[in-house]
Amino acid sequence: MGFLFPEFLFAWLLMAIPVIIHLFNFRKFKKVYFTNVAFLKEVELQTSSVQQLKERLILASRMLAIFFLVLAFAQPYLKSKTSAQAFKKAVVSIYLDNSYSMEAVNKNGTLLDEGKRKVKEIVDAYSLNDRFQLITNDFEGKQQRLLDKKEVLDELENVKISPLTRDYQTLVNRQQEVLLKEQGVKRAAYLLSDFQKQSDLKNTLKIDTSIQLNVVQLIANELPNISIDTVYFLSPIHQPQANESLVYKVSNHSDKQVKQIPIQLKINGAQKALANLDIDAQKEVLDTLAFSGLNAGWQEANIQLKDYPITFDDQLQFVFEVKSTLPILGVYQNSPFKNFSAAYQTDPFFKFQEVNESQINYSGLDTEQLLVLENLKTISDGLAQQLKLYVEKGGNLSVFIPANADLNSYQKAFQSFGIDYPTALKKQDIKATTLNIQHPFFKNIFDRLPKNPDLPASSAYFESSNLTKTTKQVLMDGEGNSPLLSLYPTKKGNIFISWMPLENDLSNFSRHALFLPILFKMAFSGRQEKSLFYTLGQNNNIDLKGLNLPENEIIKIKNKQSEIIPEWRQSPAGAVLYFADQIKSAGFYDVIYQNKIIDKIAFNESRKESDRQFYSDKEIETALGIKQKNIFNGAAAPLNQQIKESDLGSSLWKVCLILAIMFLIAEILLIRFFKKSISKPLNA
Q: Contact 440/417 with Cβ under 8 angstroms? A: no
pLDDT tens digits for 283-310? Answer: 999 999 999 999 999 999 999 998 887 8
Full residue range of the structural domain in which residue 167 is found: 88-222+624-633
C-alpha span between 508 and 486 (Å, rounded): 18
Residues 341 and 475 in one domain: yes
Residues 340 and 488 in one domain: yes
pLDDT at 545 over 90: no
* Confidence bin at 575 (pLDDT 50/70/90): confident
Residues 116 and 235 in one domain: no
DSSP 8-state symbol, 196: B
- CATH number at 307 reads 2.60.40.10
pLDDT at 224 over 90: no
Task: Work out the mean pLDDT of the chain and round it to a whole number.
Answer: 86
pLDDT at 2 over 80: no
- CATH number at 477 reads 3.40.50.880
* Residue 633 pLDDT: 76
Point out the domain boundary residue: 323, 357, 379: 323
Angle of CA points 87, 89, 93, to nearest 5°: 115
Average pLDDT over residues 401-415: 95
| Beta strands per DSSP E along 182-222 | 186-193, 211-217
Identify the weakest region by mean pLDDT among 122-131, 272-281, 574-583.
574-583
Higher pLDDT, residue 677 or 180: 180
Residues 465 and 348 in one domain: yes
Residues 108 and 120 in one domain: yes
Residues 488 and 557 in one domain: no
- Number of domains present in the structure of the chain: 5
Residue-wise DSSP of 532-566:
S-EETTS--EEEEET----TT--EEEE-SS-EE--
Identify the weakest region by mean pLDDT among 20-34, 300-314, 325-339.
20-34
* Residue 582 pLDDT: 82
pLDDT at 238 over 70: yes
Answer yes or no: is 82 within a domain.
no
Contacts of residue 322, Cβ cutoff 8 Å, sequence gap at least 6? 238, 239, 240, 294, 295, 296, 297, 298, 299
Predicted TM-score of the model (pTM): 0.71
pLDDT tens digits for 344-374? Answer: 999 999 999 999 999 999 888 888 899 999 9
pLDDT at 683 over 50: no
Residues 246 and 122 in one domain: no
pLDDT tens digits for 29-41? Answer: 566 666 666 555 5
* Residue 445 pLDDT: 81
Average pLDDT over residues 184-213: 86
> Which of helix, strand or coil describes residue 220?
coil
C-alpha span between 488 and 391 (Å, rounded): 11
pLDDT at 403 over 50: yes
DSSP 8-state symbol, 206: P
Q: Contact 389/360 with Cβ under 8 angstroms? A: no
Angle of CA points 202, 206, 207, to nearest 5°: 155
Identify the weakest region by mean pLDDT among 57-66, 550-559, 576-585, 598-607.
576-585
* Confidence bin at 132 (pLDDT 50/70/90): very high
* Residue 682 pLDDT: 44
Q: Please state whether beta strands 567-571 and 574-578 pair in parallel, antiparallel, or not at all (unpaired).
A: antiparallel
Residues 205 and 239 in one domain: no
pLDDT at 461 over 60: yes
Q: pLDDT over 90 for what percent of the chain?
A: 49
